[in-house]
Amino acid sequence: MKYPQGVRKQQSDSAQRSNEINYGQRGMTLEKDLDKTNQFYLDSKRAIIHKKPTPVQIVDVDYPSRKKAKITEAYFKVPSTSDYNGIYKGKYIDFEAKETRNKTRFPFINIHAHQVEHMRACHNQGGIVFIILKFTVHDEVYLYPFEHFVKHWDVFLADGRKSITYADIKNESILLPIKYNPRYDYLAAVDEFYFE
């Protein structure tokens, strides 16, 4: 493209800032899509599934005025469990949502032991438990049943592999195609794996 008088126009400071990469929201796109999916399920009376809030202990608040109160120090009260829970077809559902930029594996460093143990306890009580994994490089989202995930986790605990291969996840999971509404119809995959 030719610019007038052969000189490229300089970008304004605000335009340059808008071109900068924002890493603050990394990992949040899957959760936003799942929140929209869950709202669709709620509105259509298909299921009741919500993101679980993490309890926080507020320690200090800057309180210059009522309208300008700002939390300046807070801590998590207890370790978080899994991201989402609810009820579908009379069964308890509990799942974690994870994203990875790794194209060949899902590293176990991306999930905490207390989360897995919580999911194991829910599974042992008859709940429907799974992990929704997004491989951002492949732009693919999978519903990974806990029954398959936990086999790899237990090998890891016994000083085995520190990750699950992408190939294993593809073979043991159900691919969730992206749609307009619901964004990721993971309940169709739940029906396929748990109810058929």
- For residue 161, how many other CB atoms are within 10 A of its CB? 13
- Spatial neighbors of 141 by CB under 8 A, at least 6 apart, are 30, 132, 133, 134, 135, 175, 176, 178, 184
83 is in an annotated binding site: yes
Q: Letter for the amino acid at 172?
A: E
CB 134 within 8 A of CB 141: yes
96 is in an annotated binding site: yes
CB 47 within 8 A of CB 186: no
Q: If residue 148 lies in a helix (H) or strand (E), which one and from where to where?
A: helix 146-157
- Spatial neighbors of 115 by CB under 8 A, at least 6 apart, are 79, 80, 81, 82, 96
Strands 91-100, 56-62: pairing kind: unpaired
Q: How far is CA 87 from CA 19, 44, 63, in A?
A: 42, 14, 40
Start-to-end CA span in the chain (Å) = 58
Annotated binding site: 81, 83, 96, 115
Annotated binding site for Mg(2+): 81, 83, 96, 115
